[in-house]
Amino acid sequence: MFKRSTPILASLNRAETIAFYTEKLGFHFTTENNGYLIFEREDIHIHLFPCSDPAECRNMGCYLYVTDIEQLYAHYQTLGIVHPNGLLKLMPWGLRQFAVVDNNGNIIYIADDRPALKAEV
């Protein structure tokens, strides 16, 4: 029944958010409505709402499921955006994932849920 999900995260700075999502994560900026930003990359959409108080807009995050996680991980490492505590690894629940924290403090887990061998990273 369910087909798709669109995360809605906080944006503390319009210009920095647009730069991060387009230049670092490789998304296309598609729409803005009163500070509400919409980005897309392939079949993934991310929305960000304007927030002026970091204390009110914290602890937000999402999972993005991808293929070729190793290639994306290597690319994001060269850009220096992989979180130091979120390196690529196989999680106990079976996902291979890594983490990026955007310019607003939102954590974005990037995961490949295909079956992986325990020895894989």
Residue-level pLDDT at 59: 84
CATH number at residue 14: 3.10.180.10
Is 3 contained in some domain?
A: no
User: Number of structural domains, the chain?
Assistant: 1
Q: What is the mean pLDDT of each run of 10 residues along the chain (121 residues)?
A: 87 97 97 97 95 88 93 96 96 93 95 66 49
Is 77 contained in some domain?
A: yes
Among 76, 114, 82, CA closest to 95:
114
Residue-level pLDDT at 23: 97
Alpha-carbon span 75 to 24, nearest angstrom: 9
CA distances to 33, 35, 101 from 109, in Å: 26, 24, 9
Is 33 contained in some domain?
A: yes
Among 18, 7, 22, CA closest to 65:
7
pTM beyond cutoff 0.75: yes
